[in-house]
Each structure stands twice: as C-alpha cells, then as structure tokens.
Amino acid sequence: MNNTKWWQTAVIYQVYPRSFQDSDGDGIGDLRGMINRLDYLEQLGITAIWLSPVYKSPNDDNGYDISDYRDIMTEFGTMADMDELIEKAKLRNIRIIMDLVVNHTSDEHPWFIEARQGKDNPYRDYYIWRDPVNGGVPNSLRSSFSGSAWEFDEASGQYYLHLFSRRQPDLNWENPKVRQEVWDMMNFWLDKGVGGFRMDVIDLVGKIPDQEITGNGPKLHEYLQEMHRETFGKHDVLTVGETWGATPEVAKLYSNPDRKELSMVFQFEHIGLDQQEGKDKWDLKPLSVNELKQVLAKWQIELGNEGWNSLFWNNHDLPRIVSRWGDDGKYRVESAKMFAILLHLMKGTPYIYQGEEIGMTNYPIKDISEAQDIETVNMYHERLAQGYAKEDIIASINAKGRDNARTPMQWDATPNAGFTSGQPWLHVNPNYAEINVEANLADPDSVFHCYRKLIELRKNNPIVVWGEFELVEDVPEEVFMYFRRYKGETWLVTANFSPAPVTLEMPEIGLVSEFMIGNYARDAADFQQLQLQPYEAFVTKLA
Ligand code: TEU
C-alpha cells in the first residue's frame, strides 16, 4: 500500500504503570519495572506501548490529574528512567506513546495554584470560572465522578469547572496561552523521541460551558488542526483521541488524513451496548450479540478511506472483557481467545490492555472499603444517598468498576503474583496462582501464545491489515462471522459468541484451503456441516 503509516500495521499494548511491575518494593509499579519487562513485550510482538500517565500527580485520579507535565511521578521513578525506557524500547523497535491529559490539570498544578490567587492573576483564565447564579452553581453541568461539575472557591466567590473530580479543574482552551502551553509541552516530549500521544477526552476541549456543550464543541477541530500544525504534524507519530461520543461521521472529522488532525480515535459505541438507554454505565442490560455485530460492522465499513479504526475490548477504565461478555469460569481460556481472534482479524489497529493477553479477569468486591477508584467511590455514596440498595450498587461496581482492570499484573505464582515484594497498592486477584504470565509462556496453547500468533498473522499477511470487511448476516444470532478480502484472497472469521454449541451449515463457504488459527483443534476437512464448540473461534483461508 502506498503512503502506509507504521501505526496501520501496528499492535499497541497499554500499560497502566501503577499496576504493571514494581521494582523497588513500595507496592506501586514503576518505570524500572517496565524496563525489566521489555523482553516480555518484545516476545509478545507488540509495536508500541501506550503508557497511562507517568507525570507528577497527587493521584486523585491515579495520574489523570497532572501537577507537572515535564516531570515524572515520584513513585514511578525519574526522568532518567523515562529516557532509558524510551531508548531501550526503541532498541526493540517499540515506540512509547504518551497519555496526553490536557482537558484538565491537577488542582496542584502551578497554573491552578496561581489562578486561585485571585481574579486578577494572569493565570486566572487558564481555567473556567463563573459567578454564582441565584446563589448557587452556574448551571446543571455534571461531573463524570458524581455531583455538580462546579466547585465553589470561597476566596474569590466564584465557581470553577471540573468535568471530572473537583481536583481536576478544566483548562480553558479558548485562551490561546493555554493552547501554546500545551503545544510547548507536547514538543518537549516529541523532542524526547516519543512515538505519539493518546489524547485523554480530547473531544471535550472544545466545550462551551455556558451553553452546557461539552463534547464536540464548535472549535474542537480548529484546535486539533492547530495542534497538528504546532506539534506532531512534523513527526511520524501515532495520535489517537479518546472520543466517547464519536459516530463514524464524527470519527472521519478526526481521522481523515486530508484534515490533518489525528491518526485515529477510540470510539465506544460497542462498549455502551450493555448499558440501559439514556442511563449511566452502572445501569446494566444484557448484551445483544446482534447489536454488537451491527455496530462493529458499521465501524468497519463506514470509515472507508476517510479514517482508521482502533480495535479494543479493554482499557484501564473498562471491566475485563472475559468477565464482562465471555466466561471467566469454565470457558475462560476459550472465550478469551475468541475475543482475541474476533477482534484481531478486523481492519484497524488493535490495542491490548495489560493482562488481556493472559486472560486476566475481574476482581469482585464485597464492600466499598475494597474499592480504590474515585469514580466508583463517589458513585457509591451518591447512589446510597439516592436510596439505591447497597447490594445493587456493589453488583454494578463488580460489573463495571474501573478497579477490575487495575488489579496488579499477574506475572507468576509467587506472592503478589510477582508484581511486588511489598504491599500492593490495590488487591491482587487471588486467581494469580493459575492465571499468570509464567504459566502462559510455558503452555503453547495459552491465551498469550494465541495473541502472539495473531500478531504474527497480522505482520505476515497484508489481508489482515488491508482486506475489505464483509459481515455474514444469515447465521444464528450468537455466531459472529465475517469475510476479509484482499487481492484475490479470502479469509473467513467464525466465532461462536456463546457458551452453547451451535450447529452451522456452511456449504456455500466453498473449500477451505488453510486453517489459519483457532481455539479448538480442527482440521481443514470438516467445514461443510459444523458444530461450533462453546466460544469456538477460527480463521480459514478459502480456496
Ligand atoms: O476517561 C474518560 C471518561 O469519561 C471515563 O472516566 C469514563 O467516563 C468512565 O471511566 C467510564 O468507565 C479518561 C481516562 O481514561 C480516565 O481514566 C480518567 O479518569 C478521565 O479521562 C479523566 O482524565
């Protein structure tokens, strides 16, 4: 393909640094620990590492509240460690993608400390301040972490906006000085040789608070085009925006190469399918596999050549997919592999979240005292006050809470799963004795080796990167089946998205010439009348 970008053939691995690998026994993951695990990531075969924030932070939101964009969080190590990580990753042809959190800062950032000094401070309009209305909050904007998005500042008698925690004041992007500060900071990291940025809630930076507009504001794309011109446009880097409300039409605005904005976005339409209409993520409904098929197929087809898909099931904000939509009991390995095969054969750039590649699961809590995440804790107290039953709130937390993804990486069967020699900052899932990297590496049929083979398939077969996608419609609801076609070659991906066997008539599929990968043993012969096993998935090359 002409003008191929490296991130179109890439597979990205997300590290949540706090939970990846501790090297100094303080119970918190760190950069040295990551450096010590680069060989493992190289063995998996990934191309780049998306690092959740490692900057100085008071950790009100575990690093997504930044107090110094140009220094490293003390618990994670030093800037010298960061430079070493970038360098040693590069030696393995692995790029480091930084997490760019510029919708807001920490309230301990010097800019906010200045801004808070008074209305005349030169940094005041780095943030969004409003007078009370009728003696109260300026309007009904809500925080994602419960309650009003407005916090009263006694000293000045004004409110400031925070779409997340009250310790994460929103930056005022209408102020050109703020944008210049962001450009300068991004260029600082680009000059260090980072491979790009994941852009935290970047769809919010065009907000118009007085009209209660938060996502996709009128100046958003103007700002992104300015960012492109002033920073990464001169570099061959990956930029991926976190855009919760994006539709394919909106996604094209971000990722159409002619618009000179971003490489791609994380869209979350499939992620919201087990959430009641118009409600919060905590208000659950069963997943419809048909809806999932239609949504993912739509994204595969509608971006066309005007954008590029990111492909993910997991991240540090989401429950682990094998517990959420698979089976984390009897068919844990089979369903973990089914999710991997189904996603990694699609068109786009796959993202693997730490632990996904070994089939890690959610960690159910019994009491709110076991929860660490601010989003979860705030919701618990808000819903308790609203009269929700405690057991219902805990059930929602166990289904959708962010701590599920943040339990320490399970390296081996030694205490604390080999994550730390100290007291881990968050509970380790007790199933680490069985589910860990060491056991996966030793088992040629493990989830890890399934991911490693999928990454190899993508590297060695252009059809996986460039092939056209076509959903197969006339199959049972629980069967997710699609073609990929490229330069006369046709591959068929078949997945049973259920714990029950399914009988499938496939005579029209034609002869199978090669069995590429699957999570059950199966030879190329018997594809005319099939009984798919629980969560069975496989890929066949057709004659
Ligand atoms: O998340 C954006 C965001 O909206 C999430 O908080 C989401 O609403 C929720 O977690 C759904 O489960 C980004 C980061 O990924 C998240 O970790 C931060 O807490 C948030 O922004 C604020 O920076």
Q: What DSSP element (H or E) covers 407?
A: none
Token pair for 201: 């809630």
Instruction: Indicate if the pLDDT at residue 510 is higher than 80.
Output: no
Over range 363-375, report the average pLDDT. 98
Average pLDDT over the chain reads 97
| Best of 15, 55, 60, 64 for a ligand 1 pocket test (most atoms within 8 Å of beta carbon) | 64
Instruction: Indicate if the pLDDT at residue 538 is higher than 60.
Output: yes
For residue 55, report the phi and psi dihedrals to the nearest 5 degrees: -75, 165
CA–CA distances in Å: residue 68 to residues 54, 104, 171, 175, 215? 10, 12, 14, 20, 25
d(CA 324, CA 335): 11
60 CB within 6 A, ligand 1: no
Q: Return the DSSP state at 104.
A: B
* Strand order across the 512-518 sheet: 468-471, 479-486, 489-496, 537-542, 512-518
| Segment 104-161, tens digit of pLDDT | 999 999 999 999 999 999 999 999 999 999 999 999 999 999 999 999 999 999 999 9
d(CA 75, CA 35): 15
Q: What residue type is assigned to position 157 of the chain?
A: G
How far apart are the CA of 317 and the centre of ligand 1, in A? 6
Q: What residue type is assigned to position 122 of the chain?
A: P
Residue 239, phi-psi category: left (phi > 0), alpha (psi -120 to 50), beta (remainder): beta
Q: Return the DSSP state at 109.
A: S
Active-site residue list: 200, 242
CB of 350 closer than 8 Å to CB of 311: yes
Instruction: Indicate if the pLDDT at residue 306 is higher than 50.
Output: yes
518 beta partners:
538
**Burial class (CB within 10 angstroms; exposed 0-12, middle 13-18, buried 19+) of 427:** middle
Nearby residues of 63 by Cβ (< 8 Å), 6 or more positions away: 17, 18, 52, 53, 54, 55, 57, 73, 99
164 CB within 6 A, ligand 1: yes
d(CA 94, CA 285): 39
334 CB within 6 A, ligand 1: no
- What ligand 1 atom has the least distance to the C-alpha of 64? 23
Q: What is the pLDDT of residue 511?
A: 80
| Segment 446-480, tens digit of pLDDT | 999 999 999 999 999 999 999 999 999 999 999 99
